[in-house]
């Protein structure tokens, strides 16, 4: 008998829940990955993330081969086709059990429902496991059985749950199996509809490939930077955060591995202890919270705002403002630096993500979904739940969102978190020689200085647009 493990956003061997369970059957395990490029396009995944996935499918195939597990590859176009392909593989190899790790987004859930039904017709059992988060989103609920809408009580309940259940337990060890006659499939050299070479030659250079690389990033972060994380994490010029998001998004490292490493450095304490570690664990819990939110409120996966009344907002329709924003030419240095960092590296610092997202949704008053889509198309770490959560937080349309009247002033954020303009100068070379005094607001420099810069004046007045956004939200009524 053969057991089938289907990989999706869990492209690693170590501590992989579904793979571990597949091995517990005692049967020979074979593995499958389905490329679904049409689905990825429908989900707005850009070449950076797809190239990152592709590189890791290759690494996964090599890692599995060392364990005697062949990785089969199918080019399935979309989710519907992938269901048929999984069934075909299962039947061709006389599989009784298929193991997957659960994905929480709506289309993924529907796909797995269809897969379950298709397999069941042939007496094949689909086993679903929790892996993308430390706890399943539905495991944490309020006293009245609802999903949480506010982070802090969710976090408290999450910590209590983990302590009660003694999570995270020991790392799940995957064993080498006896050789089988089936050979792994070759990795395709192209992915339909995607040109990934530019991504491989550009942004991906900054992201070492493979599980071992991700483990080293985690180790180095815990050994060298986590203790200073609380204060340094907001300074975009510093390399003070873990940079693990891209690896977590497609499962090159598990959130349990991250949590275990943090707890080991914190005398086993979950909640409290070292302030840097505690703050970092909180960020991991934000990731869990946003997965909880999309699972509990699936209308979010269908382009709706969490606060449905905000779907009535008449956002501006201004293509030239959107183009200025996405190209990093708004005349507001911190915004331009962030948007250019995204284009050049496929990543953006969290503080700057918040600044550019608020600028788009409040000052330009453009629909936050435009920004969400642009991020998805460019971020290597694109993750539907965290991206949507971050955008709806910034646009004041989401769970536990920033109140609509608390709008970041991009100039004061810039002065506070990039005081010397070091981050700005890295990505906006036009301002490299500008005196620190004017770096956050170059348009305030005397004309004779400003004219020497190849830089532009702000495309909007942040004070006036701020007030207009507040008025628009106010007009929606008191539920905001
Ligand atoms: C508008 C906006 C869009 C975002 N889009 C994404 C996205 O597509 N994918 C993504 O992984 N994160 C997203 N984030 C969250 C956050 O910006 C990134 O997770 C973080 O910058 C990644 O850097 P790091 O790995 O060094 O994080 P660290 O600071 O080291 O944090 C550790 C891990 O915790 C998680 N995390 C940290 N902050 C958050 C947060 N605010 N929300 C949810 N999880 C968090 C990430 O998995 C991260 O890798 C977004 C935030 C905003 C404001």
Q: What is the CA radius of gyration of the chain?
A: 23
Please name the residue whose Cα sits nearest to atom 47 of ligand 1. 245
Beta carbon of 378 within 6 Å of any ligand 1 atom: no
Pocket test for ligand 1, best of 217, 390, 397 (most atoms within 8 A of CB): 390
Domain ranges of the chain: 2-132, 136-168+211-296, 308-474
Contact criterion met (CB below 8 Å) for 282 and 258: no
- pLDDT > 80? residue 105: yes
Backbone angles phi, psi at 160, to 5 degrees: -60, -45
Mean pLDDT of all residues in 32-54? 98
**CB contact at 8 A, 57 and 40:** no
Is any ligand 1 atom within 6 A of the Cβ of residue 422?
A: no
Binding site membership of 254 for ligand 1 (Cβ less than 6 Å): no
- 9, 106, 110, 315: the catalytic one is 315
The gap from C-alpha 59 to its chain's centroid, in whole angstroms, comes to: 21
Please tell me the distance from the alpha carbon of residue 17 to that of residue 3, in angstroms, as a whole number: 14
Give, to the nearest 10 degrees, the angle between helix 106-120 and helix 79-92: 30
Residue 5 parent element (H or E): strand 2-7
> In the structure, what pLDDT confidence band is assigned to residue 371 with cuts at 50, 70 and 90?
very high
- Establish whether 40 is a catalytic residue: no
Backbone angles phi, psi at 19, to 5 degrees: -65, -40
User: ∠ CA 470-474-480 to the nearest 5 degrees?
Assistant: 105
Distances (CA, A) of 276 to 163, 191, 271: 20, 41, 11
Task: Answer whether 383 contacts ligand 1 (Cβ < 6 A).
Answer: yes
Q: Is the pLDDT of residue 34 over 70?
A: yes
Q: What is the pLDDT of residue 212?
A: 97
Q: Which two tokens stand for residue 223?
A: 């050994």
Q: Topology of 308-474 in CATH?
A: DNA Cyclobutane Dipyrimidine Photolyase, subunit A; domain 3 (1.10.579)
**pLDDT computed for residue 479 by the predictor:** 57
Is 315 known to be catalytic? Answer: yes
pLDDT per position as a tens digit, 114-159: 999 999 999 999 999 999 999 999 999 999 999 999 999 999 999 9
Helix (H, G, I), strand (E, B) or coil at 460: coil
Q: Which two tokens stand for residue 10?
A: 């869990």
Q: Whose CA is nearest to atom 23 of ligand 1?
A: 243
pLDDT at 168: 87
When pLDDT is cut at 50, 70 and 90, the band that residue 401 belongs to is confident
Per-residue pLDDT, 400: 84
Q: Which two tokens stand for residue 129?
A: 């496991």
- Nearest Cα neighbor of 337 from 409, 427, 414 is 427
* CA angle 294–298–300, rounded 5-degree value: 70
Structure tokens at 140: 């944490």
pLDDT 10s digits, 153-165: 999 999 999 999 9
Q: What pTM, to 2 d.p., does this model score?
A: 0.98
Closest by CA to 210, choosing from 347, 31, 14, is 14
Mean pLDDT estimate for the chain: 97
- Cα–Cα distance between 46 and 149 in angstroms, integer? 30
Residue 390 CB–ligand 1 contact under 6 Å: yes
Query: What is each CA distance from 260 to 96, 200, 228, 265, 269, in whole angstroms?
Result: 34, 31, 19, 9, 10
d(CA 140, CA 155) in angstroms, rounded, equals 9
* Percent of the chain whose predicted confidence (pLDDT) is above 70: 99
Q: Looking at ligand 1, which residue's alpha carbon is closest to its atom 24?
A: 243
- Which is nearest to 53 in space by CA: 229, 203, 249? 249
**CA separation, residue 372 to residues 282, 369, 419, 468 (Å):** 23, 5, 28, 22
pLDDT value for 402: 85
The catalytically annotated residue of 9, 350, 409, 480 is 350
- Catalytic site residue 350? yes
Ligand 1 neighbourhood includes 382 CB (under 6 angstroms): yes
Mutate to test the pocket of ligand 1, among 247, 350, 371 (most ligand atoms within 8 A of CB): 350
Tell me the pLDDT tens digit for each residue of 178-217: 999 999 999 999 999 999 999 999 999 999 999 999 999 9
The reply to whether ligand 1 has any atom less than 6 angstroms from the CB of 286 is: yes
**Which pLDDT band, with edges at 50, 70 and 90, does 477 fall under?**
confident
Under the banding of pLDDT at 50, 70 and 90, the label for residue 419 is very high
Cα–Cα nearest to 387, from 145, 257, 395, 94 = 395
pLDDT at 478: 61
At 294-327, the pLDDT tens digits run: 999 999 999 999 999 999 999 999 999 999 999 9
Give the number of the atom of ligand 1 that is nearest the alpha carbon of residue 391: 1
286 flagged as catalytic? yes
Give the C-alpha separation, 257 to 261, whole Å. Answer: 6
- What is the arrangement of strands in the sheet containing 2-7, beginning at the earlier edge strand? 71-75, 28-35, 2-7, 95-101, 125-129
Topology (CATH level 3) of domain 2-132 = Rossmann fold (3.40.50)
Alpha-carbon distance of 254 to 171, in angstroms, equals 10
Among 1.25.40.80, 1.10.10.10, 1.10.340.30, 3.40.50.300, what is the CATH number of 136-168+211-296? 1.25.40.80
Alpha carbon distance 156, 162 (integer Å)? 10
357 lines ligand 1 (CB under 6 A): yes
Q: In this structure, how many other beta carbons lie within 10 angstroms of the beta carbon of residue 309?
A: 12
Ligand 1, atom 29: closest residue by C-alpha:
241
Q: Give mean pLDDT, residues 286-298.
A: 98
Question: Is ligand 1 within 6 A of the CB of residue 377?
Answer: no
Inter-CA distances, 257 with 134, 139, 272, Å = 9, 20, 19
Contact between 454 and 430 (Cβ < 8 Å): yes
Query: Ramachandran region of residue 29, left (φ > 0), alpha (ψ -120 to 50) or beta?
Result: beta
């Amino acid at each position: 008998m053969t057991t089938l493990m289907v990989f999706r956003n869990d492209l690693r061997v170590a501590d992989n829940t579904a793979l571990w369970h597949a091995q517990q059957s005692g049967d020979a395990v074979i593995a499958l990955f389905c490329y679904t490029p049409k689905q990825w396009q429908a989900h707005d995944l850009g070449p950076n993330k797809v190239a990152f996935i592709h590189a890791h499918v290759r690494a996964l195939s090599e890692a599995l081969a060392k364990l005697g597990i062949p990785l089969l590859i199918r080019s399935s176009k979309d989710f519907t086709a992938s269901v048929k392909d999984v069934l075909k593989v299962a039947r061709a190899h006389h599989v009784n059990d298929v193991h997957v790790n659960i994905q929480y987004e709506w289309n993924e859930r529907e796909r797995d429902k269809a897969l379950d039904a298709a397999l069941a017709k042939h007496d094949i059992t689909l086993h679903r496991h929790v892996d993308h988060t430390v706890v399943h989103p539905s495991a944490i609920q309020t006293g009245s059985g609802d999903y949480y809408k506010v982070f802090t009580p969710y976090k408290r309940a999450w910590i209590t749950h983990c302590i009660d259940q003694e999570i995270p337990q020991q790392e799940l060890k995957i064993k080498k199996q006896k050789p089988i006659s089936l050979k792994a499939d070759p990795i395709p050299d192209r992915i339909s509809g995607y040109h990934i070479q530019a991504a491989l030659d550009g942004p991906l250079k900054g992201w070492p490939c493979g599980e071992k690389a991700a483990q080293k990033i985690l180790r180095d972060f815990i050994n060298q930077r986590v203790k200073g994380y609380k204060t340094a994490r907001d300074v975009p010029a510093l390399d003070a955060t873990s940079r693990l998001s891209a690896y977590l998004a497609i499962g090159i490292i598990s959130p349990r591995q991250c949590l275990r490493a943090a707890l080991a450095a914190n005398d086993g304490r979950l909640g409290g202890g070292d302030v840097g570690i505690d703050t970092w664990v909180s960020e991991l819990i934000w990731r869990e919270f946003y997965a909880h939110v999309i699972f509990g409120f699936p209308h979010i996966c269908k382009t709706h705002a969490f606060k449905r009344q905000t779907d009535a907002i008449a956002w501006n329709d201004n293509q030239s403002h959107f183009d200025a924003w996405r190209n990093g030419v708004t005349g507001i240095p911190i915004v331009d630096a962030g948007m250019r960092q995204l284009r050049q590296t496929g990543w953006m610092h969290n503080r700057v993500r918040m600044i550019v997202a608020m600028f788009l949704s409040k000052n330009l008053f453009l629909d936050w979904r435009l920004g969400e889509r642009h991020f998805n198309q460019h971020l290597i770490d694109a993750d539907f739940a965290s991206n949507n959560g971050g955008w709806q937080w910034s646009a004041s349309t989401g769970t536990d969102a920033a109140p609509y009247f608390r709008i970041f002033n991009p100039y004061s954020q810039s002065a506070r978190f990039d005081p010397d303009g070091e981050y700005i100068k890295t990505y906006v070379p036009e301002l490299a020689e500008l005196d620190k005094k004017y770096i956050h607001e170059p348009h305030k420099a005397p004309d004779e200085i400003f004219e020497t810069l190849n830089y532009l004046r702000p495309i909007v007045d942040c004070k006036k647009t701020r007030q207009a956004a507040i008025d628009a939200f106010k007009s929606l009524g008191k539920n905001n």
